[in-house]
């Protein structure tokens, strides 16, 4: 499906984006993954390369998506070393749990800088390569094309579902991801006529990820695991999610393969929610920042949130 194509992935050493990259590499792509931590990025790149003999996966560390010049240099290096950029995933993101009372202006800005400005920077750094790729690889629907032709020029931003309803303690991420979705709509409108297909994947709670360890109390994680054990056939287990389970990284890589293969050749400006229907029960199905038993609005009025979160601050700093 991806034979000979090149993927450029920000946040590519993270749990979700490394799984997306791994799937593309398994299916024949080469890739550059971009990250802030050089050692982690290079180690994950080496590991992903093992998935297919002859695969080229370059880890480009010390790159922060907030710094356009560094990101552009990484994109240029990727294109120079691997022969172009055909697929882009804007996956770098930052998150922590904090009510507005505990968010300093700089904390709010930091998440907008990483998610929103980072996504815009990724578009700016790569879109000329995507236009070139779309023209070189128009895909199976082009006049006279091989029906098995693989297209190029595709963009995915990894977003979230919090902004569909709003969610307590996620004001910063909700605002940032709403803007991410909006940027992708603009890319779809402005670059669709040049052959670039730009879409959003919005994951729900994904088991076993850094994101979930930052957002979910360890008590909830244990609770989900015990429910899963009582429900054979579920992977994560949650009766309050319509599909009955938290998502897996495989769910997100499958959605990526759908959009980046011929099946996605006319999908543009779409938001693909992959959450088992959880956002439709947001508040009951998603327990960001809460221990079991904490109820809205009591935890807010009492100034409480879970203390069992990775990177969490138990007290408001304002």
Which residues form the interface with ligand COA (CB under 6 A)? 93-96, 98, 102-104, 106-107, 110-111, 210-211, 214, 311-313
Respond yes or no: is residue 72 known to be catalytic.
no
Phi, psi of 252 (to 5 degrees): -75, -35
User: How far apart are alpha carbons 45 and 219 in whole angstroms?
Assistant: 33
Work out how close the CB of 10 gets to ligand COA at its nearest, in angstroms, rounded to a whole number. 12
User: How far apart are alpha carbons 217 and 257 in whole angstroms?
Assistant: 31
Phi, psi of 4 (to 5 degrees): 80, -5
Within the chain, how many helices (H) and strands (E) appear? 11, 7
User: How far apart are alpha carbons 163 and 146 in whole angstroms?
Assistant: 41
In the bound state with ligand COA, the residue whose beta carbon lies nearer, of 267 and 300, is: 300
Work out how close the CB of 307 gets to ligand COA at its nearest, in angstroms, rounded to a whole number. 11
Catalytic residue among 151, 177, 216, 287: 177
Which residue number has the CB closest to ligand COA?
Answer: 94
Work out how close the CB of 209 gets to ligand COA at its nearest, in angstroms, rounded to a whole number. 8
Residues forming beta bridges with residue 89, ordered by sequence position: 9, 156
User: How far apart are alpha carbons 195 and 153 in whole angstroms?
Assistant: 7
209, 16 contact by CB (below 8 A)? yes
Work out how close the CB of 113 gets to ligand COA at its nearest, in angstroms, rounded to a whole number. 8
Respond yes or no: is residue 315 known to be catalytic.
no
Work out how close the CB of 164 gets to ligand COA at its nearest, in angstroms, rounded to a whole number. 17
What is the end-to-end Cα distance of the chain in Å, rounded? Answer: 51
- Residues with Cβ within 8 Å of 76's Cβ and at least 6 positions away in sequence, in order, are none
Tokens read off for 137? 């690889």
Angle at 315 between CA 314 and CA 318, to 5 degrees: 145
Give the distance from CA 23 to its chain's centroid: 14
In the bound state with ligand COA, the residue whose beta carbon lies nearer, of 95 and 248, is: 95
Residues forming beta bridges with residue 201, ordered by sequence position: 158, 272
Work out how close the CB of 239 gets to ligand COA at its nearest, in angstroms, rounded to a whole number. 24
In the bound state with ligand COA, the residue whose beta carbon lies nearer, of 118 and 276, is: 118
Catalytic residue among 18, 151, 159, 174: 159
In the bound state with ligand COA, the residue whose beta carbon lies nearer, of 64 and 76, is: 64
In the bound state with ligand COA, the residue whose beta carbon lies nearer, of 6 and 112, is: 112
Tokens read off for 77? 């290096």
In the bound state with ligand COA, the residue whose beta carbon lies nearer, of 84 and 102, is: 102
Catalytic residues: 159, 177
């Amino acid at each position: 499906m991806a034979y000979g194509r090149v993927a450029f992935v920000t946040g590519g050493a993270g749990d979700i984006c490394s799984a997306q990259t791994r799937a593309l590499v398994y299916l024949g792509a080469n890739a550059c993954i971009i990250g802030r931590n050089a050692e982690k990025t290079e180690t994950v790149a080496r590991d992903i390369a093992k998935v297919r003999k002859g695969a080229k996966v370059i880890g480009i560390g010390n790159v922060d998506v907030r710094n356009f010049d560094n990101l552009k240099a990484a994109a240029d290096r990727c294109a120079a070393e691997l022969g172009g950029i055909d697929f882009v995933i804007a996956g770098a993101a930052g998150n922590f749990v904090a009510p507005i009372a505990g968010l300093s202006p700089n904390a709010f800005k930091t998440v907008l800088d990483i998610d929103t400005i980072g996504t815009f920077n990724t578009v700016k750094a790569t879109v000329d390569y995507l236009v070139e790729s779309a023209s070189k690889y128009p895909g199976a629907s082009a006049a006279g094309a091989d029906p098995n032709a693989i297209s190029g020029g595709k963009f995915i931003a990894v977003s979230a579902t919090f902004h569909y309803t709003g969610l307590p303690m996620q004001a910063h991420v909700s605002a940032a991801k709403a803007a991410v979705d909006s940027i992708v709509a603009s890319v779809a409108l402005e670059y669709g006529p040049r052959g670039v297909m730009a879409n959003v994947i919005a994951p729900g709670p994904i088991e076993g990820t850094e994101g979930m360890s930052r957002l979910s109390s360890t008590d909830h994680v244990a609770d989900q695991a015990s429910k899963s054990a009582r429900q054979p056939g579920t992977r994560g287990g949650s009766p309050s999610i319509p599909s009955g389970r938290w998502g897996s990284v495989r769910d997100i890589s499958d959605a990526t393969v759908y959009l980046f293969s011929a099946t996605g050749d006319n999908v543009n400006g779409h938001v693909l929610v992959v959450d088992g229907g959880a956002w439709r029960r947001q508040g009951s199905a998603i327990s960001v920042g809460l221990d079991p038993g904490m109820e809205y609005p009591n935890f807010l009025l009492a100034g409480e949130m879970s203390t069992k979160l990775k990177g969490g601050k138990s007290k408001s700093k304002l």
